[in-house]
Amino acid sequence: MPKVAVVGSYGVGLTMRVPRMPVAGETLSGGEFSSGHGGKGSNQAVQAARLGAQVDFFTAIGADDLGRGGRTLWSDEGITAHPVVFEDVATMAGVILVEESGENRIVIAGGTLDRLTTQHLMDFEPVLAAADIVVVSLEIPVPVAVRALELAAGAGTRTLLNPAPATALPDEVWSAVDVLTPNATEAAILLGIDPRAAETEPADDLARRLHDRTGATILLTRGGDGVLVCHDGEITAVPAVPATAVIDTTGAGDAFTGAAAVAIAEGADPVDAARFAATVGAWVVAHHEVIPALPHRHEIEGRPA
């Protein structure tokens, strides 16, 4: 079993499905409400576990019902969790609006995640060193994410950074990043250019520029246009895997990242890892919610990629 260590967020998603997005000052009726487990780190950990990895997960939760729910989830999924527990702060929560097209808008209250410091990582350092790959995302304080990458890289462990939500990062971090999984907007932000450039600049230029700046292998996700892989200076276009339907795009990026990490830990090259992850992502967008949508290995084996 590949060993995947994930450093990231856990929270509860409060989802409202709406006919369309309301405009400012408008009260819109006709929504359907549900709640469920979320947080990029937890989603990625669950996806990796369902694809057959041995997963360790580092995060922060509150001593509340939401935090206890997270512990139950990780236990049920066979994930070894290492949460920092805060007694006086609530577990992260996110509000998600999903319109009929499947597009979504998300607002997050970080809660306990905002309390994490680099010192909290010290007990997790042996796990980072023992993993085949370490996955980090940015719903936690940037210094914690950066330190996790540095500790893993210093121990000789491969690293994958999912730069979401995207923010400027110190140049020194790139020497500790082996693989990046941004979308076009996130790539533009990492490059320090107007995010609107993602709509006009060719995707292969974004991928190549990000590769040149960071030295990392780039898996640039483009939704229905597939994935661009930039590795050792070469660009490879991986076609999109057709989804049976586009019902809900929430969690598709997390599923892609978790699947890519498992494939790389198993020894796949970046292009094959992108193909595998794209197959997993296509499955997820055809299903409602996040955790129920994340596939097990047997559900995606044999599907075209």
Per annotation, catalytic residue among 204, 254, 269, 272: 254
Question: How far apart, in Å, are the Cα atoms of 122 and each of 45, 65, 126, 243?
Answer: 20, 27, 8, 42
Please state the φ and ψ torsions of residue 188, each to the nearest 5 degrees. Answer: -60, -40
- What does the block give as tokens for 192? 């320090």
CA atoms of 136 and 145, how far apart (whole Å): 6
User: For 199, what's the count of Cα atoms within 13 Å in the CB-facing half-sphere?
Assistant: 3
Closest listed residue to residue 288, CA positions, set 98, 75, 39: 98
CB count, 10 Å around CB of 153? Answer: 18
How does strand 80-86 pair with strand 92-99?
unpaired
Question: How far apart, in Å, are the Cα atoms of 299 and each of 122, 289, 291, 296?
Answer: 37, 17, 14, 5
- What does the block give as tokens for 9? 């967020």
CA atoms of 3 and 301, how far apart (whole Å): 20
CA atoms of 133 and 145, how far apart (whole Å): 15
- Is 254 catalytic? The answer is yes
Give the residue numbers marked as catalytic. 254
